[in-house]
Amino acid sequence: QTPDLYRSLAGRPYAELIEVGDRVLDTAERCLGRSLNATDLLIDAPPTHKEVEFKVDIFHPKEGVYRPLSQVSPVVAALAKTQFDDYVKRVRVFAEPTLAKELAGRSEFVEWLTEAAR
């Protein structure tokens, strides 16, 4: 929902996402007044590399040749190379059920996550 937060988390190595999650848990412990486990929160973010490739050749009858779909269709090229992440990939935060209920009721959770991602 927040593009800046997405950009700050997407593409980070797994170890860094764990560190961000630990910082969020530290803040949550202070604000909720209870102990939490490292496994109570998981941040899932897309990797830096593009995962979608359109390896389909299209026959051009007038020239009698095959061309890659990405050359024939600028829309496909744009989706595969630049916009796919914006439309499909998401940063997701998973939490232990009790913690998830507590966090869902806190408007400042996004602030905690944003601060932890810095």
Tell me the domain boundaries of the chain: 1-46+90-118, 48-89
Asked whether the whole model's pTM tops 0.75, one would answer no
* Average pLDDT, integer, range 49-66: 78
User: For residue 53, what pLDDT is reported?
Assistant: 60
* Average pLDDT, integer, range 46-57: 70
* pLDDT tier, 48 (very low <50, low <70, confident <90, very high otherwise): confident
Token duo for residue 111 = 């602030």
pLDDT at 49 over 70: no
Query: Of residues 87 and 4, which shows the higher confidence score?
Result: 4
* Average pLDDT, integer, range 29-57: 85
